[in-house]
Amino acid sequence: MSLPVHRLGRLVPIFRRRCAPPVLLAAALWCTVQPALGAPPGLVVVPRPSAQPGLSYFKVQARPGSSAQPGTIELRNPTSKRLRVVLARVDGETLGTLGSAYAPPGSRAHGSTLWLHVSRQPITLPPGASVAVQISLRVPAAVQPGDYLSGVSVEALDQRASSVAKKGLSIASVSRYAIGVEVSVPGPRHPLIQFTGAEIQRQPAGLTFSLKARNPGNTILQGVHGWVRITRGARVVVSRPIEAGTFVTHSSIGYPVTAFQQAPTPGTRYRIVAWMRYAGGIARLDTNVTFGHREAAIARQYAHGPAPAGGGTPWWEIAGAVAVILYALGTTILLLLRRRAREPQEVTQQ
């Protein structure tokens, strides 16, 4: 039932991870992963589509101005504790590396997501209980033909985050699910992918190129694939395929291409040639990007670490200098004391 996120619209378990040094939890990161066989028991989420019951997501054909009930979401509590569950409508998106994904709950809804109607109040499930939540939608009368993707986020509240300490970090995670809702409005289809440019970025791990692309057409495109080649003068920096994936309608991406071995100086130019093939056409890119002074400043910051908030020399550098001075002073005093201790013996022997 649970499938990888890159397959369109499926029920996707998503783990919200928060990473921080031990004792202090400082940041949060949303990521998508496949379900683990050893995952702890908890909330069970089962989509029940009205049509095509074999699917693990909702796929609806609807005309402008019509209403539909894609199906229900069954929530089960197999635990011995009461569970509070909240559902939220979320936008469908395209991953930067191609693939369908969903925005986190609490984010602003757009487009077809606004057509959905789900329960906004937390649902309380006693131990061993289950409930079916009806999902409905209303398609606007002025909507244009095409494919539209949104989703329903399902998350159990008051989860006890599981923590794992690794390499000085404490990683805590809680899980949520996203169930896709694909609405197909009848009419002609116009598949289209466009490259809109590229940029160069200096990230902590190293140099990364970002290929800007969008899907302004009205078709959710699957099996999109291609190739990217980046050169620096006559030297080939990167030449590799763009792996096949899904490109959701009305979405944009920055496809990342890493070149961590590169250490350019300001003014270094790179040429990027790329293409993406999809059902109905091919998108092409041929452009130049320059490693500028801003990127060089960021590279120096990553190389030397952040500057102190108050400016001046970092405290650890001052402490290191003081330690060196004290060590040298102590060594000098010790040598002088030993020398003086030997002088009476030398005089007596004479």
Pick from 21-25, 46-50, 285-289: least confident: 21-25
240-249 pLDDT, tens digit per residue, is 999 999 999 9
The confidence band for 294, taking pLDDT boundaries of 50, 70 and 90, is confident
Q: Determine the pLDDT at residue 105.
A: 87
If you average pLDDT over residues 300-321, what whole number do you get? 53
Q: Bigger pLDDT: 265 or 142? A: 142
Q: Determine the pLDDT at residue 165.
A: 60
Question: Residue 91 corresponds to which tokens in the numbers above?
Answer: 């936008």
CA dihedral 141, 147, 148, 149 (to 10 degrees): 160
The confidence band for 86, taking pLDDT boundaries of 50, 70 and 90, is very high
Task: Please determine, for residue 33, whether its predicted confidence score (pLDDT) is greater than 50.
Answer: no
C-alpha dihedral sign at 113, 248, 105, 72: positive
- Paired sense of beta strands 221-232 and 206-215, if any: unpaired
Q: Determine the pLDDT at residue 54.
A: 80
Task: Please determine, for residue 257, whether its predicted confidence score (pLDDT) is greater than 80.
Answer: yes
The confidence band for 51, taking pLDDT boundaries of 50, 70 and 90, is confident
170-193 pLDDT, tens digit per residue, is 566 678 899 999 999 999 999 999
The confidence band for 21, taking pLDDT boundaries of 50, 70 and 90, is very low
281-290 pLDDT, tens digit per residue, is 999 999 999 9
Q: Which candidate, 178, 179, 177, places its Cα nearest to that of 159? A: 177
CB within 8 A of 157, min separation 6: which ones? Answer: 83, 84, 85, 86, 122
How distant is the alpha carbon of residue 71 from its chain centre?
Answer: 29
Task: Please determine, for residue 159, whether its predicted confidence score (pLDDT) is greater than 80.
Answer: no
Q: Determine the pLDDT at residue 166.
A: 57
Task: Please determine, for residue 206, whether its predicted confidence score (pLDDT) is greater than 60.
Answer: yes
Rounded Cα gap, residues 33 and 5, in angstroms: 7
53-69 pLDDT, tens digit per residue, is 788 899 999 999 999 99
Query: What is the radius of gyration, based on Cα positions, of the chain?
Result: 29
Q: Determine the pLDDT at residue 170.
A: 57
214-240 pLDDT, tens digit per residue, is 999 999 999 999 999 999 999 999 999
Domains of the chain by start residue, with CATH: 12-185 (2.60.40.10), 194-304 (2.60.40.10)
Q: Bigger pLDDT: 339 or 124? A: 124
Q: Bigger pLDDT: 348 or 341? A: 341
Measured in degrees and rounded to the nearest 5, phi and psi for residue 326 equal: -60, -40
144-153 pLDDT, tens digit per residue, is 999 999 999 9
Q: Of 253-257, 292-296, 317-321, 345-349, where does the model show the most confidence?
A: 253-257
